[in-house]
Amino acid sequence: MANTFIQPEPSPLALLLLGHGSDADTERGVECPGALPAPSDPDLVSRAQAAKAALGNRVYILGHHYQRDEVIQFADVTGDSFKLSQQAAAHPEAEFIVFEGVHFMAESADILTAEHQQVVLPDMAAGCSMADMADIEQVEECWDLLTELGIADVTVPITYMNSTAAIKAFTGRNGGSVCTSSNAERSLTWAFEQGEKVLFLPDQHLGRNTAVLDLGMSLDDCVVYNPNRPRGGLTDDELRNAKMILWRGHCSVHSRFSADTVDEVRERVPGVQVIVHPECNFDVVSRADVVGSTEKIIATITAAEPGSAWAVGTELNLVKRLAEEHSDKEIIFLDRTVCFCSTMNRIDLPHLVWALESLVNGEVVNRIEVDADTAHWARVALDRMLALPGVASAVQPD
Ligand code: SF4
């Protein structure tokens, strides 16, 4: 079958505004220091090849599935954020870990790798808008409120991998765990064995979808805590009665898909199967045929019958790559407009070349370092996830 992938139209929303600015305290990051090569430099590919060859085993490059082709071609391994951090830890000979991903991923890599390994994020402005939606001061304020109401003791905090190291450490300190989109159901099941309620951070959609569609709760069991409103915008009784307290965060990319886009593609492409990421909203996930992490989406499409048609609701770089790699299947992007993760896209070839050439010249630029106390408690939360039945074996390094 010829490649039938249809390029979506440009987005009417200014998603590229994300990642601008210079606030070092947020996931939106800061401007890069130093002189970047010009994007028009025709030698960028050969410069990246030469720098990588010069560094040899001293560098290990991690490429998240949502990264651009122009940088993913230099990745030593591709995957989701947790798998990539584990792969970095499995290569202790590499003193430099270059993360083609976003800031919280580089933090996780620093937490999981050895002391002598230094993690580099080629563009410090590559943050994550979802991770930015849970600020540690706001989360501590929420926990103080639950303590005041006498329910903190029976609440287990669970944070999605897509959160800052400070939030992971908060969950570690307070008896909670990290989860990924692959093991959210197991993490929540564990949490409800430890307590009566869960505070789920920072993605309300993953929390709601897992609680309702996998654990059989009702939508009424869930409340949404809005950190920008007094007492989360909830009454004391709403907080006392809820089983799932969902933080009001979301992914700017996956929340763009709507129930209409699912209905529309089913009308337009008879027999199409809809596969979406659980960061999509409840209406989208409820209408989909398959729901799963990026790794599950890739595995499902790889195993699908030739000639089958798939509408995919996840980041566009990954969907385009799937369409190129599976030209025997019809791969359709679930939205009609462009839906890149703008902050992921900030890692481009000029930044990669700059980071690698700096390492060749003996200068470690854009190092991501998590302080020892935060790293310790974040590691506690990550280890609780790894101790869940079946999780460690599912995420062993390749
Ligand atoms: S795709 Fe969404 S969750 Fe992932 S880095 Fe981008 S904004 Fe964050």
Ligand 1 centroid to residue 26 C-alpha, Å: 14
| pLDDT tens, residue by residue, 365-375 | 999 999 999 99
With b for 16 or more beta-carbon neighbours within 10 A and e for fewer, the 337-351 pattern comes to ebbbbbbbbbbbbbb
> What percent of the chain is predicted at pLDDT more than 70?
89
Instruction: Give the pLDDT score at 13.
Output: 39
74 and 86: one domain? Answer: yes
pLDDT at 194 over 90: yes
231 and 379: one domain? Answer: yes
Contacts of 25 (CB under 8 A, 6+ apart): none
SS3 249: coil
On the 0-12 / 13-18 / 19+ scale of CB atoms within 10 A, 53 is: exposed
172 and 224: one domain? Answer: yes
For residue 28, name the pLDDT band (cuts at 50, 70, 90): very low
pLDDT at 21 over 50: no
| pLDDT tens, residue by residue, 55-102 | 999 999 999 999 999 999 999 999 998 899 999 999 999 999 999 999
Amino acid 127 reads: G
Kindly state whether residue 352 falls inside one of the protein's structural domains: yes
What is the rounded CA–CA span in Å between residue 58 and residue 36?
A: 22
Q: Which tokens hold the place of 325? A: 């790699």
Kindly state whether residue 381 falls inside one of the protein's structural domains: yes
* Segment holding 179, helix H or strand E: strand 177-179
Kindly state whether residue 88 falls inside one of the protein's structural domains: yes
Looking at ligand 1, which atom is closest to the CA of residue 130? 8
144 and 245: one domain? Answer: yes
Instruction: Give the pLDDT score at 1.
Output: 57
Instruction: Give the pLDDT score at 23.
Output: 46
Q: Pick the more confident residue, 338 or 186.
A: 186
Ligand 1 binding pocket mutation candidate from 68, 105, 257, 344 (most atoms within 8 A of CB):
344
| Mean pLDDT of the 184-211 span | 98
Q: Tokens 């560094």, residue?
A: 55
**Residue closest by Cα to atom 8 of ligand 1:** 128
Compute the mean pLDDT over every residue in the chain, rounded to the nearest whole number: 91
- For residue 105, give the CATH number of its domain: 3.40.50.10800
Ligand 1 centroid to residue 236 C-alpha, Å: 32
pLDDT at 337 over 90: no
Kindly state whether residue 31 falls inside one of the protein's structural domains: no
233 and 159: one domain? Answer: yes
For residue 391, name the pLDDT band (cuts at 50, 70, 90): confident
Quote the radius of gyration of the chain (alpha carbons, Å). 21
pLDDT at 20 over 50: no
Ligand 1 centroid to residue 361 C-alpha, Å: 32
What is the domain count for the chain? 3
Looking at ligand 1, which atom is closest to the CA of residue 341? 6
- For residue 193, give the CATH number of its domain: 3.40.50
Domain membership of residue 95 as a residue range: 45-127+344-365
SS3 160: strand
62 and 103: one domain? Answer: yes
For residue 395, name the pLDDT band (cuts at 50, 70, 90): very low
Kindly state whether residue 66 falls inside one of the protein's structural domains: yes
pLDDT at 271 over 70: yes
Ligand 1 centroid to residue 274 C-alpha, Å: 20
Q: What is the 3-state secondary structure (H, E, C) of 125-146?
A: CCCCHHHHCCCHHHHHHHHHHH
Pick the closest to residue 353 from 28, 54, 19 (CA basis).
Answer: 54
| Mean pLDDT of the 266-294 span | 97
For residue 322, name the pLDDT band (cuts at 50, 70, 90): very high
What is the rounded CA–CA span in Å between residue 225 and residue 183?
A: 23
Kindly state whether residue 29 falls inside one of the protein's structural domains: no
Whether the CA torsion 90, 93, 98, 103 is positive or negative: it is positive
136 and 269: one domain? Answer: no
What is the rounded CA–CA span in Å between residue 358 and residue 366?
A: 10
Looking at ligand 1, which atom is closest to the CA of residue 18? 7
Kindly state whether residue 102 falls inside one of the protein's structural domains: yes
DSSP state at residue 253: T
DSSP state at residue 152: G
pLDDT at 258 over 90: yes
Q: What is the CB < 6 Å shell around ligand 1?
A: 66, 102, 128-130, 162, 251-253, 315, 341, 343-344
Instruction: Give the pLDDT score at 10.
Output: 54
Is residue 106 within 8 A of residue 368, CB to CB? The reply is: yes
Kindly state whether residue 312 falls inside one of the protein's structural domains: yes
Whether the CA torsion 75, 298, 394, 278 is positive or negative: it is positive
Q: Tokens 């979301």, residue?
A: 250
Highest mean pLDDT among 208-212, 384-388, 389-393 belongs to 208-212
Query: The pTM is what?
Result: 0.90
190 and 324: one domain? Answer: no
Q: What CA dihedral angle connects 119, 120, 121 and 122, to 10 degrees? A: -160
151 and 240: one domain? Answer: yes
Looking at ligand 1, which atom is closest to the CA of residue 131? 8
Ligand 1 binding pocket mutation candidate from 341, 342, 346, 347 (most atoms within 8 A of CB):
341
Is residue 279 within 8 A of residue 206, CB to CB? The reply is: yes
Q: Pick the more confident residue, 268 or 12.
A: 268
139 and 225: one domain? Answer: yes
Contacts of 10 (CB under 8 A, 6+ apart): 337, 338
246 and 258: one domain? Answer: no
> What percent of the chain is predicted at pLDDT more than 90?
84
| pLDDT tens, residue by residue, 149-166 | 999 999 999 999 999 999
**Residue closest by Cα to atom 3 of ligand 1:** 251
Ligand 1 centroid to residue 237 C-alpha, Å: 33
Torsional class of 271: left (φ above 0), alpha (ψ -120 to 50), beta (otherwise)? left
Pick the closest to residue 109 from 385, 375, 377, 380 (CA basis).
Answer: 375
| Mean pLDDT of the 303-318 span | 96
Ligand 1 centroid to residue 382 C-alpha, Å: 20
139 and 242: one domain? Answer: yes
| Mean pLDDT of the 213-239 span | 98
